[in-house]
Structure 1
Amino acid sequence: MDIVVCVKQVPDTNEVKIDPEEGTLIREGVPSIINPEDKNGIEEALKLKEEFGGTVTVLSMGPPQAEKALKEALAMGADEAILLSDKAFAGSDTLATSYILSCAIEQLDDFDMIFCGRQAIDGDTAQVGSQIAENLGIPQVTYVEDVKVEDNTVEVKRRLEDGYSVLETSLPVLLTVLGEVNEPRYPSIKGIVDAHSGETEVKKWGANKLGDVDQSKFGLSGSPTQVHDTFVPTHEKKAEILSGTPEEKAHKLIDKLKEEKVVSK
């Protein structure tokens, strides 16, 4: 089974700051990590490889420093890592990003499954995985929290707001996974050494590696999305804990709701 995992290097959201004038993320000096649910995708791919054999290829689009995230994926056990990095890709929104990733996947020899995290913690759009599947013309299942493969059939448990559904589909398929699907492994000592000693190298692909594709769909020219503003949410109201007996707390709560004009009587 040959599996592709799409990952993104993102700023650690615990350290994120916003430029007040530009309204953009300040990335300089902020530590970067593999997007958490993308790491769950890597783990799920490695588990399937251990069960059925095959290969795991990890793919990422980003600046040269994103190589660090791919080396971590190699240290976890991925067989191959490819970094898509080119000035032509700069400024890509989710539509352009998914097109570029799709073009890269089509350059691979073959694949049975594609894993993506449900969404990235820096953008929270949850769009790229679904758009890749549409570009490739393959089935997709989102919000996956369990995966079972038998022959050419994949059974997945998909989370819903009020429960879950169990779906079956055939290969090839793209799945976007939740953090609950597994617990990502730590890289082994040997994996870390191999990934950083040159034993397994990160391949670099520019736009010229994607074949005969429409480069007008790359970067800013291929990005219809316009960000109006970016800001850090504020928390102006504080919670209040009511004391007393259940009856006293109920009366206090009603009085508070009347003060806020949530209820009238």
Structure 2
Amino acid sequence: MKIAICVKYVPVDSKVQVDPAIHALLRGSGAGEINPSDRYAVEMARRLKKDGDTLDVFTMGPADAVRALKVVLALGADHAYLLNDKAFAGSDTLGTAKVLAAALTQYGPYDVVLMGSASNDGATGQVGPMLAQMLGVPDVTNAVEAETDGKTVVLKKKDGNTLYTLKTALPALASVPFGANTPELPTLRHQVAANQREFDTVSAADLGLDPDTLGQAGAKSIVTDTVNVTAQKQGLEFIGSVDEKARDFADTVDEIQQAIGGGKHA
């Protein structure tokens, strides 16, 4: 069985810059790490992998995104592919799915494709379902458990407080939410070894993709503006007897609810 995991290298500090012309993140301008929910997808892939199976990892991003690949290599991936091309810059979710679909088709076919439910920079949750549609495979979102016999996969999907059990034929794609399991961390020895491993850098030409249909040029959704938001915290102090403080607190809650369009508390 062949398993693929798609991960994203995301910024983790406030120093990341934004292109003033296209309002896209300049992904090489700040420190980054593997997307948090992708770690849970990697752990699910590791648990699915049996003797004789192969696990390949893909990421689309700048040269620094290879750091995300190295982490997954240290956790047991067999092959790593960095999808890196200037033509990919500024891609929207549809463009990202298009590139990933081309890569998975070229280096596959894969029986199971896994990825995080959403990235912590965009948080749209769109790439997984789009990718499944392009690959023509079933898609299960918010999958927290998976078992396969090599022909079918049984997935447990979480929706609020409800857990559904779904079974589908392979191939299939599943997206995994934050907190789905307990991810293993690579040992120092494995990480040092993975840092020396080879990986493939894949361009638009390698995938047979037209650059004019990718990146900013091919984007169907456009960011028209970005603003810096500074979080402000404000504390309130209620003084008086317990009854007086409770009454003042209730009045404050009512004011806030009315300000945002809600009714009074019960």
Q: TM-score range by the shorter chain?
A: 0.7 to 0.9
Question: CA offset at residue 257 of structure 1?
Answer: 4.6
Kindly provide the amino acid, as one letter, of the partner of residue 31 in structure 2: P
After superposition, the Cα gap between the structure-2 partners of 1:53 and 1:244, relative to the gap in structure 1 and judged at 3 Å, is farther
- Length-normalised TM-score, structure 2: 0.85
Number of matched residues? Answer: 260
Specify which of 222, 225, 230 is matched with residue 221 of structure 2.
225
What is the deviation of 1:260?
5.7
Which SS does the other structure have where 1:181 is aligned?
coil
- Percent of residue pairs bearing the same amino acid type: 37
> Is the 1:4–1:113 contact (alpha carbons within 8 Å) kept by the matching residues of 2?
yes
Q: Please tell me whether residue 42 in structure 1 is matched to residue 38 in structure 2.
A: no
1:72 maps to what in 2? 71
Which has the higher mean CA deviation after the structures are superposed, 121-130 or 246-255? 246-255
Q: 1:178 deviation in Å?
A: 1.1
Deviation at 1:170, TM superposition (A): 1.6
- Counterpart CA distance in 2 for 1:216 and 1:108 is 23
Counterpart-to-counterpart distance in 1, 2:65 and 2:264 = 56
> What pairs up with 1:27-38 in 2 under 5 angstroms?
27=27, 30-38=30-38
Q: Is 1:114 matched with 2:110? A: no
Q: Which AA in structure 1 matches 2:10?
A: V
Equivalents in 2 of 1:192, 1:161: separation in Å?
36
> Which residue pairs with 2:11 in the alignment?
11
Task: Please point out which of 190, 200, 205 is paired with 1:203.
Answer: 200
Task: Note the aligned Cα RMSD (angstroms).
Answer: 2.8
CA change 1:128–1:255 in 2 (3 A) is closer
- Cα 1:82–1:18 change in 2 (3 A) is closer
Matches within 5 A, 1:1-265: 1-12=1-12, 14-16=13-15, 25=25, 27=27, 30-49=30-49, 51=50, 53-197=52-196, 200-211=197-208, 213-236=209-232, 238-240=234-236, 242=238, 247-257=243-253, 262=258
Deviations 1:78-106 (A, max 9, x none): 10000111122222111111001101111
* SS of residue in 2 equivalent to 1:122: coil
**C-alpha displacement of 1:192:** 2.1
Corresponding letter in the other structure for 1:229:
D
Question: CA offsets per residue over residues 208-241 of structure 1, 9 Å max, x none?
Answer: 2214x45443122211111122234444462436
**Counterpart Cα distance in 1 of 2:182 and 2:77:** 16
Q: Any unmatched runs of 5+ in structure 2?
A: none
Q: Following TM superposition, by how much is the alpha carbon of 1:33 offset from its aligned partner in structure 2, in angstroms?
A: 0.3
Q: 1:124 to 1:16 in 2, by over 3 A?
A: farther
CA contact (8 A) 1:84 1:206 kept: yes
Give, in angstroms, the shift of residue 8 of structure 1. Answer: 0.9
Taking the aligned partners of 1:241 and 1:169, their CA distance within structure 2 comes to 55
CA distance in 1, matches of 2:161, 2:211: 42
